[in-house]
Structures are given as C-alpha cells and as structure tokens.
Amino acid sequence: MNNLILSLKYRPQSLNEIIGQKYTVNAIKNSLDMNYIHNIWLFSGSHGIGKTSIARILAKSLNCKIKISSKPCRKCNNCIEIEKNNFIDVIEIDGASKTKIEDIKDILENSKYPPIIGRYKIYIIDEVHMLSKYSFNAMLKILENPPKYIKFILATTEINKIPETILSRCLNFYLNKINIEEINKNIIRILKKEKIFFENEAILLLSNNSNGSMRDALNLVDQSIILGKKKILINDINKMLGIVNINISLKILEYIFYKKNETLINFINNIYIENVNWELFLLDIINILHKIYLFKFNIKINKDDKYYIYYKKIKNISKISSYNKIKLYYKILIKGRKNLYLAPNLKIGFEMIILEILTI
C-alpha cells in the first residue's frame, strides 16, 4: 500500500462510483444526458458524503472534450487536468478562506472572460455559506445574469446560512448521510484491493462509528491500518474507539437489577480502560435495556445481533424486572445521555446517571 490517504486515493471519479446519493446521481445523469444544464448547482448535506466529489465530476462532465455526458471519457486532456485539479477553466474556491469582498470581486472581474480551453468556465465554491454578506451580494450580481459560458457549482454543510436570494437561483440537491451497509461494503472493497487483513466485526464497528460519512469512515480505516500494522482486528478497534466490552455494560445492568448498589459503585470506580468513550458506553447500556424490555414481550434476539451471545443473561434480568422499572430506567438513561456533555467531565456525568438510577 502506498502512503496516499485512502479517502483521497479512492475519491470517486465518475458518477457510478458515488456511494449512496442515488437520487442526486440519477438527476445529474439525466440532466447531462438530456443536455439540460442549469447555471447554478447547489449540493448540501453533512461532511464527507460526496458533495465536492460530485462537483468535480460534474465539472468534468461539462468540459470533457468529446461531449457533455454523464460519462466523461477520463482520457482527454480536459478530463485528465480536471482530475489533477489543474484545469484552467475549473476554478475551485474554498469559501472558508475566501470570505472577503475582494476575493469575490476577482471572480466577478474574471467571469467577463470566456473559458480558455474548456466549454465552460466553472466555479466550484466549497463551504459557500462561509462567504460574507457583501460577497454574497457581489455573487448575486453574476448570478442574476450569468454569461452563457459560466457555471457555478456550490457546496455547503449549512444550507440554512445561505441567503434566500441565492438559494432561489440554484438547482438544489440535498445529499443524505450514507447508510452503514454501503459504507461497510465500500470499506471491504477497498481493503481487499489494498490487501489488508481485516476481521468483519472490526469493519462493521468502524462503519457504525463513521456517522454516515465515507471520509470519516476511511480516516478511521487509515488509523486502524497504522495501529494494527496492516491488520484490522476487533480488539484493536475496541481500544481505538474506547468501546467498553458488552460484558461490562451487562454487569452494570445486573448489579442495578439485582440491587447490588455497593458492588456497582466499586465496579464503576474500578473500570480502567484507556480513553473510554462514555457516551457509547451509555448507549450500549440503553441498547441492552431495550433488549431486556423486548424479552418481556417474548421478542427474542436475532442470531446476527451482537448481543445474541449474551441472550441468557439478558433473559434472566428480564424475568426479575418489571415493565415499569425498565421504562423508568430507560427514561433516566435517555435524559442522562442528553445532558452528558453538560457534566464537568463525561465520567462524572456517567456516574451521576447510574447513581440516579440507584437512588430510586
């Protein structure tokens, strides 16, 4: 494996390589193939879900020497230079660093001149919401009457910060977070290509912690590859993410339901795991409580569920607990999770939630 960061090395180069975003990808394909090209495109949604990748592919599709197409050739000079981010008529601007009026004035000035090589002069403005009010006004001037050869492709994580006057002129696409299954599949595909050894459970855990962002997921994979020296193992990932073993979460619930208060307090104090992720720990306890409740309704745990191997213990707790107790504990835990980050530190927050349950 070379030293390239995975999220860069595997950045999608064609619309078919975009993970998730089926609706947006289809709409763009249709638009390109029907030659129905809007002047201003806006892609919004959280980070790492493909906005900039789509913007660059779109720029390539519009400027491929052969023709405007949803499948740019990737062989002509234009395509090659755009992929290298080196094409004179595709101007990429980072809104976060170019917020001043002068920056936008430059664009305004330059947009008078037609493209030099390409079919269109394309401005890709990333994090466009960061532009100042004055910059937006200056931009509006171009947008009100853009020359035929100008296209704008805007991307933002915060669409609510974009003025209505700009929004109303854009062809607007909202990109969704990518679902876990698709992230998981893509990671496995990449690791096989890179010939990296991995345990399936470890990859699933990474995918689950990617927050629906392909970039976050691949950054976690990069980190794991270094940590495990090209082996991605579940034990390493647990440690890396600060994830507490399910056994420990289960023990806490057992102590609560079997009313072993003192043992529980000692137990929590003695948990020593480096860099515990207390929120995930709390979530794990909430998840198990949910399983305990389901058992009350005779709903069993699926065999492919990660809690399945603990099902006997979970069933036993369910037998000795009442509906009301479970519901009450659940409420406290959910409310506690909401306030966890208000505590002086997360461990204290966690302890207080558990102590609140004990004092009922």
Question: Interface with Zn ion by CB under 5 A: which residues?
Answer: 64, 72-73, 76, 79
CB 153 to Zn ion: min, Å: 18
Q: Are residues 331 and 245 in contact, defined by beta-carbon separation less than 8 angstroms? A: no
**What are the structure tokens assigned to 36, written together?**
């129905």
Residue 44 or residue 78: which is nearer to Zn ion going by CB?
A: 78
> 79 or 122: whose CB is closer to Zn ion?
79
Nearest distance from C-beta of residue 66 to Zn ion, angstroms = 5
> What ranges in the chain are assigned the alpha helix state H?
6-9, 22-33, 51-63, 77-83, 101-110, 133-144, 164-167, 180-194, 200-208, 214-227, 234-241, 246-257, 261-269, 278-296, 311-320, 323-339, 346-358
Please identify, using beta-carbon distances, which residue of 37 and 76 lies nearer to Zn ion: 76
Tokens 């180069």 sit on residue: 13
Calpha distance 12→232 (Å, rounded): 24
Q: Which is nearer to Zn ion, 76 or 301 (CB)?
A: 76
| Minimum distance, C-beta of residue 72 to Zn ion, in the bound complex (Å) | 5
Nearer to Zn ion, 72 or 95 (CB): 72
Least distance CB 68 / Zn ion (angstroms):
10
State the minimum distance, in angstroms, from the CB of residue 74 to Zn ion: 6
